[in-house]
Structure 1
């Protein structure tokens, strides 16, 4: 179950089926992102694709009849209208049309009627309708999927269609389970089940039946069950870059970094295209420093060997190795620039101090001591307002039911310091407080969880900045062992006796967004359980900033019912 491989296979198929010759690829905004996540521009050029066009652009090109046009778009009404216009007055010689998902017969008929010059050679459905972020991670790049406790209907449709495409691309027909306490999880599960049933013939044709193997499981979760994980500072390379610099479709902007070279104002971080990044994306911050030093040493050694070019043989050797040398030079400079900026952010924002209290708040119960430290940090002007806001939000979630809760006073202090941030801890409590969760997030009631936490404490924590483990880890471990309680995670559409068997293939989807910390957790579970394959997806891949945007969007205009005691918000 490799989502990158699945999308790559479809795009390779598109470029090969059109045969040899110069090609243009015509895409919409979403399919442009889908392609760029798995192929670099130079890789696409090798497939004789020399022009990249957006279907919604109005660029005027003359005399391109010698080029073949590969159309790769989502089957939306807007794209059907734009494609119809294109076929009425075709710019290119022939068209090979690929939709990223199931397309209706009515839309095919509309296109056929517009193709008066008979330029269309092929119309096919390919099921690359999601962003393949990593081999076991996918996203739909949606922020603001909910309004209050209900779906935005457009986003519900996008997620259900995207999940159908994912199942078809991975050739899996799953048992669908969802979080019982979450109406939005139940709605999405119903919608996916309905689509799977409607496309039964397509599923039968694409997915081989294997009666001996336990059926795969699609588990739909709600972000509100764990609002803590997206708020925490991160200390592994990929997650740190996203938290401090933001990864947007594998791209990171460094334009704000002082004196950054023009070639590195925006850098691409892709595990498929960057060997160093692939090897180190899960390394912690301390390890990255050591690895960067080794990379520098290796580069300097190679640079010195190229300083002596004295003979024809030396010249030949240099020319042959130059592209590799140049690539290594770019890799070294890129990662030194990125790691340097991460290091500056950590120092500038006092993130070690902030992170230590974050971990204490979510992993240990010591209200008096933590309250005092939090008040001291709120008074510390050298800390960023956004960082102390996250600390207040974590306190609010952790001590919501505590008799000595001082959240209203903390919010008042925060309002004096940063008026724009004061509402966020309260909105977050309304969004993901105890009333919205079915899990025992902080392990306060569940005897097993209390024991686990105790043993974790006794055995000593390897790193005080990474004590927290996402709720997803416990959920997945229970699922893999066949112990996930059916009353809490029921099967959509009633009983299925096979669901109790331990699944080998699991697809988890989090409504409200996943995180890179959870992606690391999935990778560790895959490594620790040979024969088990878990893929994680979310409406979005969050850092703390985008998660708080998600919360604000969901709570906008929603009447507060659980936090009315906190006034003046």
Structure 2
């Protein structure tokens, strides 16, 4: 039998048992370990596994006080969270404030250092020594700073271990970009299943709570172990609504899963309540074209029906933001009128604070910024209400096809040999699922977004991977965003300082 206990809690001695310690290399954790063996041992022996590099000082303390009890002591380099098969986070939502709040500038450097350390452990775990590139931005330097830190730390790591530079192996690419690079994706009403669920329903820690027919409260975990969820999460809600009744019948007939697992249909029913015309209007603002492919000439006319309808304040703020993003900024006078219309005079921060992310909000009417061109996806569109594609998907496809402009995406160190995704075909060319085995030995493209990723961006990593012959796309960030959580984070950017989060201060053991 195996017992899992908290390192910091008081525990009874079990002298006949050996203990496995899985912990971060902090002074607090090491002190707790030493206390288990000094003055008297609680266990027969200790097998110690650190999630990251352990400083010499902590090693020496362990050696001094409990060396004779330690059978194994290893650093396993996993100071990141694998959220899904192709998604990771640094489990650090607080990084958003530390990096973007003007009140936390003294903490920014330490936070970026921590993120860099975590990215290096990710690369070490994947056995990759990637070429590092970043999105150049005249207003923001966080991506450049993080790229420098990661590149230097990778060089130091692989001075001691050159396993990431295997002969015949295509070098991976790591692209670093800031959240302000694409402000539309986290604000838009997404209509694919996973993104829509996390937008409309209060799902905490990937757990969906609901009531059964008899009124009892139940919960379902939405993760990689639920094959039905994995199969449906990236599909459009219209497809999910069609497929679920059939799948539920099959599952019930085959008795492959208990009834408690069939919660996906309940979840889908809840998401049908959103009025379709609101979805279409916000989609028109995001794409800049209507359903017929015609340019939206007067975005304000598109916006007004949303503002006049009794939607929630958050939904109206999202619509106003999409309007501003569609113009790449608006005049102070125009913004004041919009804020009065939505009646959020005391909550202007929801909109104004986007400037801290380098997103143009107030712009002179004569110098509206030109928006960069997007890929033509008119042939790919299946639904009128899902015409927006996250900008990061364009970047993924350009990177795989070796089309990224080096002026916009500079190489942090020396430019590597021409990277083509290890024989990757065009990202538009569909490929059979059997390519999965090929990808394992092929190349990797790692994307890191400073300031959070959206569920639609996560989906993009899977879509590009499926379309490419031999390149796996992995995406990560400090944390995963929902529209509500991002707006709440944006609002408090202008508030006072918050505690910075670093690896050293984490209490998990």
How far, CA to CA, are the matches of 2:266 and 2:216 in structure 1? 9
Give the Å deviation of 1:232.
Answer: 1.2
Instruction: Find the counterpart in structure 2 of residue 410 from structure 1.
Output: 338
Residues 285 and 323 of structure 2 are in contact (CA less than 8 Å); yes or no, is this contact kept in structure 1? yes
Instruction: Find the counterpart in structure 2 of residue 496 from structure 1.
Output: 415
Residues 120 and 153 of structure 2 are in contact (CA less than 8 Å); yes or no, is this contact kept in structure 1? yes
How far, CA to CA, are the matches of 2:109 and 2:119 in structure 1? 15
Give the Å deviation of 1:301.
Answer: 3.5
How far, CA to CA, are the matches of 1:161 and 1:125 in structure 2? 14
RMSD of equivalent CA atoms: 3.0
1:360–1:157: structure 2 CA closer, same or farther, 3 Å change rule?
same
Q: Give secondary structure in 2 for the equivalent of 1:229.
A: coil
Instruction: Find the counterpart in structure 2 of residue 269 from structure 1.
Output: 222
How far, CA to CA, are the matches of 1:167 and 1:244 in structure 2? 34
Deviations 1:63-106 (A, max 9, x none): 42233221111222332333333332543322111001111222
Instruction: Find the counterpart in structure 1 of residue 322 from structure 2.
Output: 394
Give the Å deviation of 1:137.
Answer: 0.7
Instruction: Find the counterpart in structure 2 of residue 370 from structure 1.
Output: 299
For residue 67 of structure 1, the aligned residue among 4, 17, 25 is 17
Deviations 1:249-288 (A, max 9, x none): 4323448x997533x1x321112x1121121111221122
Instruction: Find the counterpart in structure 2 of residue 84 from structure 1.
Output: 34
Give the Å deviation of 1:341.
Answer: 3.0
1:520–1:460: structure 2 CA closer, same or farther, 3 Å change rule?
closer
Residues 179 and 357 of structure 2 are in contact (CA less than 8 Å); yes or no, is this contact kept in structure 1? no
1:301–1:501: structure 2 CA closer, same or farther, 3 Å change rule?
closer
Give the Å deviation of 1:224.
Answer: 1.0
Residues 220 and 261 of structure 2 are in contact (CA less than 8 Å); yes or no, is this contact kept in structure 1? no
Deviations 1:294-338 (A, max 9, x none): 133224545xxxxxxxxxxxxxxxxxxxxx65x332211x22332
How far, CA to CA, are the matches of 2:303 and 2:101 in structure 1? 30
Q: Give secondary structure in 1 for the equivalent of 2:417.
A: helix
Instruction: Find the counterpart in structure 2 of residue 471 from structure 1.
Output: 391
Q: Give secondary structure in 2 for the equivalent of 1:277.
A: helix
Residues 330 and 361 of structure 2 are in contact (CA less than 8 Å); yes or no, is this contact kept in structure 1? no
Number of aligned residues: 459
Give the Å deviation of 1:359.
Answer: 0.8
Deviations 1:5-32 (A, max 9, x none): xxxxxxxxxxxxxxxxx4xxxxxxxxxx
Bigger proportion of residues as helix: 1
Structure 1 segments unaligned to the other structure (5+ residues)? 1-21, 23-48, 303-323, 437-441, 559-569
Within 5 Å, give how 1:182-261 maps onto structure 2: 182-204=140-162, 206-207=163-164, 209-210=166-167, 212-254=168-210, 261=216
1:461–1:502: structure 2 CA closer, same or farther, 3 Å change rule?
closer
Instruction: Find the counterpart in structure 2 of residue 129 from structure 1.
Output: 79
1:234–1:369: structure 2 CA closer, same or farther, 3 Å change rule?
same
Instruction: Find the counterpart in structure 2 of residue 171 from structure 1.
Output: 127
Instruction: Find the counterpart in structure 2 of residue 531 from structure 1.
Output: 470
How far, CA to CA, are the matches of 1:155 and 1:258 in structure 2? 47
Instruction: Find the counterpart in structure 1 of residue 231 from structure 2.
Output: 279
Instruction: Find the counterpart in structure 1 of residue 58 from structure 2.
Output: 107
Give the Å deviation of 1:290.
Answer: 2.1
Give the Å deviation of 1:552.
Answer: 3.1
1:402–1:423: structure 2 CA closer, same or farther, 3 Å change rule?
closer
Larger Rg: 1
Residues 98 and 124 of structure 1 are in contact (CA less than 8 Å); yes or no, is this contact kept in structure 2? yes
Residues 144 and 549 of structure 1 are in contact (CA less than 8 Å); yes or no, is this contact kept in structure 2? no
1:428–1:111: structure 2 CA closer, same or farther, 3 Å change rule?
same
For residue 541 of structure 1, the aligned residue among 460, 470, 480 is 480
Instruction: Find the counterpart in structure 2 of residue 352 from structure 1.
Output: 276
Structure 2 segments unaligned to the other structure (5+ residues)? 290-294, 363-367, 423-442, 498-509
Give the Å deviation of 1:527.
Answer: 1.2
Residues 245 and 253 of structure 1 are in contact (CA less than 8 Å); yes or no, is this contact kept in structure 2? no
Within 5 Å, give how 1:338-349 maps onto structure 2: 338-343=267-272, 347=273
Within 5 Å, give how 1:316-335 maps onto structure 2: 327-332=257-262, 334-335=263-264
Residues 144 and 553 of structure 1 are in contact (CA less than 8 Å); yes or no, is this contact kept in structure 2? no
How far, CA to CA, are the matches of 1:81 and 1:157 in structure 2? 25
How far, CA to CA, are the matches of 2:470 and 2:279 in structure 1? 35
Give the Å deviation of 1:208.
Answer: 5.0
1:93–1:216: structure 2 CA closer, same or farther, 3 Å change rule?
same
